């Protein structure tokens, strides 16, 4: 939790948008993850969102579906994701890392053990896209005990009363969906996004708001400057990894893209 | 922010099971749906319109049929009665739920419906209701299912629906559900997702059950009227479990009536290739928005199910079934592909009724239970669908098509051993 708070304080201090980089853990290979995470962190990602692959990702578009299925087929597991976090912390990477995954693998692992192990490995929180705050009583309790962030979502369709309860249950940051839909790059941002984010920010108060879904270009990032504490980039980054052929090409591709986006955060 | 107002949320739980595990973008749509269906179910005008459609479009009430020749030869002489949901318009129970949800769609001012389908029955029913009510319709169907149910794909297209084959994952029902949710989350403003069974996020399990409840309401009154007593057991096949919840629900308070759900046992539990959530390795987890029994591995990843019946080939089950199972109120048994096909043949030959392969699992359950309980037993079987859509699969299974070998290694019934390329004749 402290790492996340410091990060948002530092980016706000510099009048920067925090850049959150999503990587599906295990894509294209478990052995490449430490290198990729280090690359995006060194290139300027302020937070890494590490995807725990699931067989039925109902909130994801084609790119993340594909990378998750590939990671599973290549043998990535939740213990493997936790081990990856431990490895990059041992390598000295101090960038906040939140795990993002669907509820069932987490439930199967057992929530009490999960949060303890995740915290011990050095991760900073959990983002669970199919877990609305009202289903999350046990999760929030475990997160509080382990001093981990529990991140929930705001959507353009969320009514203010719900949003207030979601904000009250959230820690670390609030994940605001740029649009109603699944993950994936889009050419244009929702034209009403400014007004929507202002409404979310008013309810979120001091809780930082990060925007995701469809953000793929520097101009998207630039247009959100000052409207959100952070931006989240997932499918666009994974698509670039998919286009590279070797591990070092993937690290270069990821670094270059993150550097370009981070430039638009300032 | 507002720690003073911990607002009550209708979580829609059946004991520990159910809930609403969905992306935030869908929560508002589910709340809207819940609000509208509660008002509708208390509105005499809505209920009157639905009842009239059931009468003059579906053909309700569906009749009971006694099947004495089948019972004498295959069920230990027990008396067996079929609830004929197969005679409904479109050929299965699915129309009950679909008409209710299509009416709700119009009430909510939405113009488009989407649906998932496995066997194709729910897709056909949704396409039918969409045609009737002037709604746009898109149906998601796993690629594997579009191939084994090609005729139903053509039926949906003839009715004006767009059918989208799904190529992700196992390319069956579970993947069609994922794809339907993805469509819904992006188009929630004008689209209603007509979920076809008693699972998914609240309020679907309760709402779909309530639209199918008419099956049990009719059957209970008909049993008392025509047979003078309640059955000793009610049997129904369970994929997601909508026809079973529909017939079980009115009997829940009749403690002496056993409620028995028959799951797709595939190639047998020990083979690992089956669709039985209540035997073998399944345990509670979250899939498609509900906490319920799920076929999953040690990592919490969904395991692909297997059944000869596309409609039962689903790794999860309605949360109310999980509740009834844990509470001991309902029992669940696996029926293997071979047992189901044997029941299919037996009912066809002794009564002239071709059941859907899904429903043949319930018929097979009656064969087991009749043998166990003997001639005094009175069994009510929900014949949830008719077998026309399965003629190709059955003909292949029994080796009735020119040039096909029987799927079974050992032909059943009266087929002479080694009768080449002929197998059993239906």
Please tell me the distance in Å from A108's CA to the nearest CA on chain B.
Answer: 5
DSSP code for B412: -
Residue A134, domain extent:
2-264
Cα(B389)–Cα(B21) distance, integer angstroms: 34
Q: Does residue A47 or residue A192 have the better pLDDT?
A: A47
Nearest Cα to Cα of residue A176 among B24, B189, B21: B24
pLDDT given at position B405 = 62
Contact A234, A40 (CB under 8 A): no
Q: Is B20 on the interface with A (CB under 8 A)?
A: yes
Contacts of residue A73, Cβ cutoff 8 Å, sequence gap at least 6: none
pLDDT band at A161, cuts 50/70/90?
Answer: very high
Give me the residue from B27, B185, B301 closest to A181, CB to CB: B185
Cα(A34)–Cα(A81) distance, integer angstroms: 11
Cα(B412)–Cα(B406) distance, integer angstroms: 10
Sign, Cα dihedral of B342, B347, B352, B357: negative
Q: Does residue A211 or residue A243 have the better pLDDT?
A: A211
pLDDT given at position B419 = 34
For B40, phi then psi, to 5°, come to -65, -45
Task: List residues bridging with B116 in a β-sheet.
Answer: B140
Are A59 and B2 an interchain contact pair (Cβ–Cβ within 8 Å)? Answer: no
Cα(A113)–Cα(B223) distance, integer angstroms: 53
Contact B386, B93 (CB under 8 A): no
DSSP code for B201: S
Tally of CB atoms within 10 A around A41? 21
Mean residue pLDDT of chain B comes to: 92
Contact B180, B199 (CB under 8 A): no
Q: Is B302 on the interface with A (CB under 8 A)?
A: yes
Nearest Cα to Cα of residue A87 among A123, A52, A40: A123
Which tokens in the block code for residue A160? 């203010």
Upper half-sphere CA count for residue B119 (Cβ side, 13 Å): 33
Please tell me the distance in Å from A152's CA to the nearest CA on chain B.
Answer: 8
Query: For the segment A17-61, what is each residue's pLDDT rounded down to a tens digit?
Result: 999 999 999 999 999 999 999 999 999 999 999 999 999 999 999
Cα(B396)–Cα(B184) distance, integer angstroms: 37
Contact B158, B165 (CB under 8 A): no
Q: Three-state DSSP class for B382?
A: strand
In the set B83, B94, B110, B174, the catalytic residue is: B94
Q: Three-state DSSP class for A210?
A: strand
Which tokens in the block code for residue B125? 């029913």
pLDDT at B9 over 80: no
Are B1 and A205 an interchain contact pair (Cβ–Cβ within 8 Å)? Answer: yes
Q: Which of A76-80, B83-87, B302-306, B377-381 has the lowest mean pLDDT?
A: B302-306
Q: Does residue B119 or residue B264 have the better pLDDT?
A: B264
Does CATH number 3.90.550.10 belong to domain B12-42+93-208?
no
pLDDT given at position A157 = 93
Which residue has 């493997």 as its token pair?
A80
Cα(A143)–Cα(A99) distance, integer angstroms: 12
Cα(B199)–Cα(A180) distance, integer angstroms: 23
Element (H, E) at B224: helix B214-227
Are A132 and B20 an interchain contact pair (Cβ–Cβ within 8 Å)? Answer: yes
pLDDT at A241 over 60: yes
Nearest Cα to Cα of residue B244 among B296, B293, B199: B199
The residue ranges of DSSP E strands in B358-421, in sequence order, are 378-383
Contact B399, B98 (CB under 8 A): no
pLDDT at A232 over 70: yes
Q: Assign residue A64 the CATH number of its domain.
A: 3.20.20.70
Which tokens in the block code for residue B265? 């046992």
pLDDT given at position B408 = 53
Which tokens in the block code for residue B147? 């191939």
Which of A53, A57, A58, A171 is the best mutation test for B, with the most CBs of B within 10 A? A58
Which residue has 């199972």 as its token pair?
B325
DSSP code for B299: T
Query: For the segment B56-86, what is each residue's pLDDT rounded down to a tens digit?
Result: 999 999 999 999 999 999 999 999 999 999 9
pLDDT at A65 over 90: yes
Q: Three-state DSSP class for A98?
A: strand
Contacts of residue A202, Cβ cutoff 8 Å, sequence gap at least 6: none
Contact B404, B396 (CB under 8 A): yes
Tally of CB atoms within 10 A around B388? 12
Which strand ranges, in their side-by-side order, compose the sheet holding B79-84?
B64-66, B79-84, B378-383, B233-237, B258-266, B330-336
Query: For the segment B209-229, what is each residue's pLDDT rounded down to a tens digit?
Result: 999 999 999 999 999 999 999
Which residue has 């309700």 as its token pair?
B60
Q: Three-state DSSP class for B313?
A: coil
Q: Which of A136-145, B95-104, B163-172, B352-361 has the lowest mean pLDDT?
A: B163-172
Nearest Cα to Cα of residue B140 among B98, B194, B188: B194
Q: Is B108 on the interface with A (CB under 8 A)?
A: no
pLDDT given at position B170 = 81
Instruction: Please say if A90 is a catalytic residue.
Output: no
Mean pLDDT of B151-166: 96
Q: Three-state DSSP class for A180?
A: coil
Give the residue range(s) of CATH 3.40.50.1100 domains in chain B.
Answer: 12-42+93-208, 64-91+212-409
Tally of CB atoms within 10 A around B46? 18
Name the CATH code of domain B64-91+212-409 (choices 3.40.50.1100, 3.30.1490.20, 1.10.1740.10, 3.30.70.360). Answer: 3.40.50.1100
Contact A162, A145 (CB under 8 A): no
pLDDT band at B162, cuts 50/70/90?
Answer: very high
Query: For the segment B14-67, what is each residue's pLDDT rounded down to a tens digit?
Result: 999 999 999 999 999 999 999 999 999 999 999 999 999 999 999 999 999 999
């Amino acid at each position: 939790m402290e790492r996340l708070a410091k990060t948002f304080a530092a980016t706000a201090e510099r009048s920067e948008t925090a850049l959150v980089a999503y990587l599906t853990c295990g894509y294209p290979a478990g052995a490449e993850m430490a290198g990729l995470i280090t690359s995006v962190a060194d290139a300027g990602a302020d937070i890494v969102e590490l995807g725990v692959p699931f067989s039925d990702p109902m909130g994801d578009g084609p790119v993340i579906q594909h990378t998750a299925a590939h990671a599973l087929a290549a043998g990535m597991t939740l213990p493997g994701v936790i081990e990856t976090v431990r490895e990059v912390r041992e390598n000295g990477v101090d960038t906040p890392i939140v795990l993002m995954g669907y509820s069932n693998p987490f439930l199967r692992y057992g929530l009490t053990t999960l949060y303890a192990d995740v915290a011990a490995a050095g991760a900073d929180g959990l983002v669970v896209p199919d877990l609305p705050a009202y289903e999350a009583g046990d999760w929030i309790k475990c997160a509080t005990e382990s001093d981990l962030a529990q991140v929930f979502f705001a959507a353009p369709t969320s009514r203010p009363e719900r949003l207030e309860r979601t904000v009250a249950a959230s820690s670390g940051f609030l994940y605001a969906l740029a649009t109603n839909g699944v993950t994936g790059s889009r050419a244009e941002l929702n034209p009403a996004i400014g007004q929507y984010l202002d409404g979310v920010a008013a309810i979120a108060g001091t809780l930082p708001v990060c925007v995701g879904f469809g953000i793929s270009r520097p101009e998207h990032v630039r247009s959100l400057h000052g409207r959100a504490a952070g931006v989240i980039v997932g499918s666009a980054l994974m698509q670039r990894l998919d286009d590279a052929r070797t591990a070092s090409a993937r690290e270069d591709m990821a670094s270059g893209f993150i550097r370009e986006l981070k430039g638009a955060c300032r | 922010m507002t720690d003073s107002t911990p607002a009550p949320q209708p979580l829609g739980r059946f004991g520990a099971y159910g809930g609403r595990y969905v992306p935030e973008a869908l929560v508002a749509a589910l709340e809207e749906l819940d609000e509208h269906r509660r008002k509708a179910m208390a509105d005499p005008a809505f209920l009157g319109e639905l009842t009239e459609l059931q009468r003059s479009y579906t053909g309700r009430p569906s009749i009971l049929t006694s099947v004495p020749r089948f019972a004498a030869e295959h069920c230990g002489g027990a008396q067996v009665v079929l609830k004929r949901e197969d005679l409904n318009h479109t050929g299965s129970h699915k129309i009950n739920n679909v008409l209710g949800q299509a009416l709700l769609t119009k009430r909510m001012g939405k113009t488009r419906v989407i649906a998932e389908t496995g066997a194709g029955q729910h897709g056909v029913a949704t396409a039918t209701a969409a045609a009737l009510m002037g709604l746009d319709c898109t149906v998601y169907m796993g690629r594997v299912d579009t191939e084994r149910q090609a005729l139903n794909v053509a039926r949906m297209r003839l009715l004006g629906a767009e059918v989208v084959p799904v190529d992700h994952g196992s390319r069956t029902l579970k993947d069609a559900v994922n794809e339907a949710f993805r469509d819904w989350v992006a188009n929630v403003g004008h689209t209603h997702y007509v979920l076809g069974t008693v699972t998914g996020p609240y309020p679907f399990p309760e709402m779909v059950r309530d639209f199918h409840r008419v099956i049990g309401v009719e059957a209970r009154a008909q049993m008392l009227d025509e047979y003078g007593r309640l059955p000793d057991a009610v049997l129904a096949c369970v994929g997601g479990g909508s026809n079973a919840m529909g017939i079980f629900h009115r009997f829940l308070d009749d403690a002496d009536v056993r409620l028995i759900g028959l799951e797709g046992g595939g190639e047998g539990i020990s083979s690992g290739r089956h669709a039985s959530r209540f035997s073998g390795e399944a345990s509670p987890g979250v899939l498609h928005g509900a906490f319920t029994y799920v076929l999953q591995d040690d990592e919490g990843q969904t395991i692909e199910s297997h059944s000869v019946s596309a409609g039962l080939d689903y790794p999860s089950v309605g949360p109310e079934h999980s509740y009834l199972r844990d509470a001991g109120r309902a029992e669940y048994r696996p029926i293997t592909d071979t047992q189901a096909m044997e029941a299919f043949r037996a009912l066809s030959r002794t009564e002239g009724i071709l059941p859907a392969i899904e429903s043949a699992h319930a018929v097979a359950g009656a064969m087991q239970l009749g043998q166990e309980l003997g001639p005094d037993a009175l069994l009510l079987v929900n014949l949830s669908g008719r077998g026309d859509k399965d003629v190709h699969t059955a003909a292949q299974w029994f080796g009735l098509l020119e040039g096909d070998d029987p799927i079974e290694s050992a032909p059943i019934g009266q087929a002479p051993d080694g009768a080449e390329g002929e197998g059993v004749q239906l």
